[in-house]
Amino acid sequence: MLSGIQPRLTDEGTGATYMLRDSLNRATLAVFKPKDEEAFAPQNPRGYEAPENTPGLRQGVLSTQQAAREVAAYLLDHQKFAAVPETTLAHAKHPKFSRVKAKNGSEKTVWKIGALQAFVETKDTAGNLAAQVFPVVDVQRIGILDVRIVNLDRNDGNLLVRHGRTSKYELVPIDHGLSLPDRLEVYTVDMAWMSWPQARQPWGQRELAYIRRLNGARDAKLLAKCLRIRRGGLRLMGG
């Protein structure tokens, strides 16, 4: 039970995203996305309700399967190369979560499984700034991740921007639920960075070395073991 935590449902998106705030409602500690409240899942609070495993916003990823993919992106971000925030599957229960409706019409609060992600303090999203201000290395590393997981939803709204330690800005990638599809149907518009000038720059030596070390078959086995992602969703990785 999330005792002392104040979940707040965000205004954006088709699925449920809860900002978990402290007991004084001053600081956000983490983000929780229950899998049964995803778009086209049984308990979706935004009017997009449907049975479990319903085809969703994009072909290849079914409802209630996005939470595992959020965790997969973190697990595949070896050495925190693309800076995906720490993410895990968690059980949580709170009256402010969407309640389960019983056959007699009553509602009850239940334990939910979902993606729990560390909250990252940022100042903006990439869509509100000129793309040219972002470091080439950040764009390339996020690009490597997106191609590996076949990200179908890398819009500039899910690239957070924070003050950098070695540069003015740093990018933080979030929202990886629409990835690892079981069919290849991805377009250039699905990856915002493809039209940015950084994507046309030569690869850095560290990025090339990282790519050479990647092992798609090994990564697919990791996800199959830890998250039980369907084989079709791992096929494009070599699984």
pTM of the model: 0.93
Query: Region 212-233: what's the mean pLDDT?
Result: 91
Q: Which residues of 13-49 are buried (b: 16+ CB within 10 A; e: fewer)?
A: bebbbbebbeeeeeeeebbbbbbbbbbbbbbbeeebb
Q: What is the pLDDT of residue 96?
A: 93
Residue 183, token pair as written in the block:
């069919």
Query: Region 182-192: what's the mean pLDDT?
Result: 84
Query: Region 97-126: what's the mean pLDDT?
Result: 91
Q: Which residue has the higher pLDDT, 31 or 58?
A: 31
The mean pLDDT value of the chain amounts to 92
- pLDDT at position 128 over 80: yes
- pLDDT at position 23 over 90: no
Q: Which residue has the higher pLDDT, 175 or 189?
A: 175
Phi, psi of 226 (to 5 degrees): -85, -35
What whole-number distance in Å separates Cα of residue 192 and Cα of residue 220?
A: 25
* Amino acid in the structure at residue 41: A
Region of poorest pLDDT, from 69-83, 210-224, 225-239: 225-239
Phi, psi of 171 (to 5 degrees): -100, 140
Q: Which residue has the higher pLDDT, 173 or 189?
A: 173
Query: Region 34-56: what's the mean pLDDT?
Result: 95
- pLDDT at position 194 over 60: yes
Phi, psi of 60 (to 5 degrees): 105, -15
Name, of 21-25, 56-60, 193-197, the range with top average pLDDT: 193-197
Q: Report residue 4's pLDDT band, with 50, 70 and 90 as the boundaries.
A: confident
What whole-number distance in Å separates Cα of residue 140 and Cα of residue 121?
A: 22
